[in-house]
Copies of this chain bind each other. A is one copy, B any other.
Amino acid sequence: MEDQEIRKAGLKVTAPRVKILELLENSEQRHVSAEDVYRMLLSANEDIGLATVYRVLTQFEEAGLVEKHHFEDGHSVFELNKGKHHDHIVCVTCGRVKEFVDETIEDRQKKIADELGFQISEHDLVIYGKCLDDACERKP
C-alpha cells in the first residue's frame, strides 16, 4: 500500500499523507496543483488543511516521491515520480498537458552545459501551444 512508500521515504504514516498519495495515484490528471489536491480532498470530505497539503507535497518532493514543475500560468504543479525523466507540452487554451522524451534534446543539453562550463543538475523544458483537441476551450 501507500503506507510502505511513505515509510520508505522516512516519513511517519499519517492520514493526510496516505490520502494525498492515494489521490495522486488515482487522479484523472497526472499534473495537479496544491490547490487542485486541496479541492479534491474537500470533495472527498477529507478534513485536511491547505498548509498540510503544501507541506506534504513538499516533503514528498524532497523524498523523491513526486516532482514539482513551474508552468507559466502561475502556480506549481506536482506529479508522481515515474522514475524516468520527461518534458512537457502545455496547451495555452485548455491547460491539457502531454509528456514527451527526446533523446536528441537531452544529449544536446549535456553538450551545451559542457561547452559552457556548467555541471548540469537539471533542466526544465516546457513547450506552449494550442492543442488541436476537439474539446479544447478555455477553462472557466
A23 within 8 A of B: no
A44 within 8 A of B: no
Q: Contacts of A133 on B, CB cut-off 8 Å?
A: 117
Q: Is the CB of A127 within 8 A of B118?
A: yes
Interface residues on A, range: 20 to 34
17 contacts between A and B (CB under 8 A): A89-B112, A89-B118, A91-B118, A98-B116, A100-B112, A104-B104, A105-B105, A105-B108, A117-B131, A117-B132, A117-B133, A118-B127, A119-B130, A120-B129, A121-B128, A123-B125, A123-B126
**CB < 8 Å: which of B92, B113, B119 contacts A121?**
B92
Q: Is the CB of B121 within 8 A of A129?
A: yes
Q: Is the CB of B118 within 8 A of A129?
A: yes
**CB < 8 Å: which of B70, B113, B122, B129 contacts A113?**
B129
What 12 additional pairs, Cβ within 8 angstroms, besides A100-B116, A104-B108, A120-B128?
Answer: A70-B70, A98-B118, A102-B108, A102-B112, A105-B105, A112-B127, A117-B132, A117-B133, A118-B130, A119-B129, A123-B125, A123-B126
